[in-house]
Amino acid sequence: MALSTSSAITLNINGEKHTLPVDHRTTLLDALREHLDLTGTKKGCDQGQCGACTVLIDGRRAVSCLQLAIASEGRVITTIEGVADGERLHPVQQAFLDLDGYQCGYCTPGQICSAIAMIEEHAAGWPSAATADVRPEAGAPPLTADEIRERMSGNLCRCGAYVSIVQAVAQAAEAEAAQTPTTARQFSGPSGPGDLAHPAGTTDAEMTA
Amino acid sequence: MREFGYQRVFDVPGAVARLGADPDARYLGGGTNLVDLMKAGVERPALLIDVRELPLDGIETTDDGGLRIGATVTNSDLAAHPEVRRRYPALAQAVLAGASGQLRNMATVGGNLLQRTRCGYFADLAKPCNKRVPGSGCPAIEGEHHNHAILGASEHCVAIHPSDMGVALAAFDAVISYETADGPGELPLAEFYLPVGDTPHLETALPSGALITGVTLPPTPVAAVSRYRKVRERASYAFAIGSIAAALDVQDGVVREVRLALGAVASRPWRAQEAERVLTGGPASADAFAAAADAELAAAKTLPHNGYKVTLMRNLVVAMLTELTEEAAR
């Protein structure tokens, strides 16, 4: 029996189910842009090196250029088109607007999707390569500019708008930390609810350091 | 890209049986390396067997106090796990030093072990490469090789293994578990990657068709004082040009136990056994650390553009052991 090299798949994107035929070679990125007209997700390098195509898969950030569409069946996908609450922008979107966290804007959807998930990762107590002591007893590191730069390093900006991007991410993280009591946070991180740690606020000095 | 079939599997025997039925099939984990290589035409599977739904995504403490890590655990989950961070901090640091937040969410432990070299010639179909096309030649030796091997290479291939995670696993005597149609098996990491010799296309000792099911870390008290350090050409999101995982137990100025593994220097994570032998039982001093590094690196064979790695690795060994000595004294 010859193997079928295409399938009809159903993708759950931004709360809507889409059924489409795909050649198995189709990446999630191409399915979004070429099949579903969701062109907010951008194609940069198409080889996992720039982050422009970042989306959320089951709440976690991922590059859609290395994710096959057919392997995305059954997963909950959120793209930049799905992060706002109706007309109300997501706090990360608002912060990018407020602080000019972009120049040409091409990397911005990926930056914003990445930042949304990154703020949750940090709130769940995940360390990063910028964290001096990764042991759980050391607690969650403050979300300093160094931490933000390290955690956002998978998103390149060829305009070099990093200074404003770091400030926008810091402002959004601070706003979310102020709004959400630690005990109310839900995150499907592996550390479990017992390991959630309150993210320390980021001071102006740290933001501009 | 070649057209391919796709099948999702939900149990390990089913996965192994499916792959056994099709020699042109590949297991698909996170796809961060395989899909990239398929786009480049380096990998041309006829069938992808998606293993992400296999029940191999747990991290558990073993009866003897070690850690058992499932093969489909993502890099993110591994690095965030409290027991990994508490008992094997260098492993968490190594994983966090690799790739980006997005890729760590996708990549799996099994796939990390099996990722291919980032040698540019390997990924370029227009160039010869003994790893990709046996017998075709190695242009790196007289070409671009500033980030190629200084240890354990051969005249047939000087590519390095790019994993950060694997370096920490090497330091902690990890054991790889796998499943085949004939039953399960195990390989210590030290025997997992094959010597390069004249067969650089044969990379691991896994039997044909085997599926990696997990990694077991034995109880390793010395690992509680451990670190990973990575040197690269930009501050983040780049492969290593040299890295080190180290653990040290010093009592009264004497090295009681030491673990050292080096990354980006060989076709596999390089356990620095000679350095460990020289250090064990001796003084924890900068001179002793340098002598140990020299003993390990005496076997180094450099090319015109990668000789800097000998100095780099020597300095990394000395700096890391000095820091761990200070940490142990606190």
Question: pLDDT by residue (tens digit) across B36-64?
Answer: 999 999 999 999 999 999 999 999 999 99
> Which neighbouring-strand residues pair with B27?
B49
pLDDT at A3 over 90: no
Q: What is the mean pLDDT of residues A69-87?
A: 97
Structure tokens at B141: 């030796």
CB–CB contact B82 A114 (8 Å): no
Measured between beta carbons, the chain A residues lying within 8 angstroms of B93 are 129, 134
For residues A70 and A24, is the Cβ–Cβ distance under 8 A? yes
Q: How far is CA B255 from the centre of its chain?
A: 26
Quote ipTM for the complex: 0.96
Helix axes B286-297 and B308-329, enclosed angle (nearest 10): 140
> Which neighbouring-strand residues pair with B250?
B255
Residue A182 has what pLDDT? 53
Measured between beta carbons, the chain A residues lying within 8 angstroms of B46 are 3
Q: How far is CA A79 from the centre of its chain?
A: 9
Q: What are the extents of the domains in chain B? A: 5-50, 224-329
pLDDT, one tens digit per residue, over A161-181 is: 999 999 999 999 999 888 876
Gap between the terminal Cα atoms of chain A: 62
Q: What is the mean pLDDT of residues A8-26?
A: 98
Residue B247: count of CB within 10 angstroms of its CB: 25
Which segments in chain B show pLDDT lower than 50? none
Topology adopted by domain B224-329 = Enolase-like; domain 1 (3.30.390)
Structure tokens at B247: 């653990």
Structure tokens at B16: 């192994």
Beta strands at B47-50 and B5-8: parallel, antiparallel or unpaired:
parallel
Residue A204 has what pLDDT? 35
Which residue has 């499916």 as its token pair?
A: B18
How many residue pairs from chains A and B have C-beta atoms closer than 8 A? Answer: 133
CB–CB contact B102 A114 (8 Å): yes
d(CA A75, CA A159): 33
Instruction: pLDDT band for A193, please (50, 70, 90 cuts).
Output: very low
For residues B225 and B257, is the Cβ–Cβ distance under 8 A? no
Q: What residues contact residue A206 under an 8 Å CB cut-off, 6+ apart?
A: A142, A144, A145, A170
pLDDT at A20 over 80: yes
Which CATH entry fits the domain spanning B5-50: 3.60.130.10, 3.30.565.10, 3.30.43.10, 3.30.465.10?
3.30.43.10
Which residues of B sit within 8 Å Cβ distance of A?
Answer: 1, 3-6, 8, 28, 30-32, 35-36, 38-39, 46-48, 50, 52, 59, 73, 76-77, 79-82, 85-86, 89, 92-93, 96-97, 99-103, 105-106, 230, 235-237
**DSSP H or E segment with residue B96:** helix B89-96
Instruction: pLDDT band for A2, please (50, 70, 90 cuts).
Output: low
Domains contained in chain A, CATH given: 6-82 (3.10.20.30), 91-208 (1.10.150.120)
Measured between beta carbons, the chain B residues lying within 8 angstroms of A128 are 96
Minimal-distance CA residue of chain B relative to A150: B236
| Closest by Cβ to A3, choosing from B46, B93, B105 | B46
CB–CB contact A3 B52 (8 Å): no
Query: CA Rg, chain A, in Å?
Result: 18
d(CA B199, CA B203): 8
CB–CB contact B105 A67 (8 Å): no
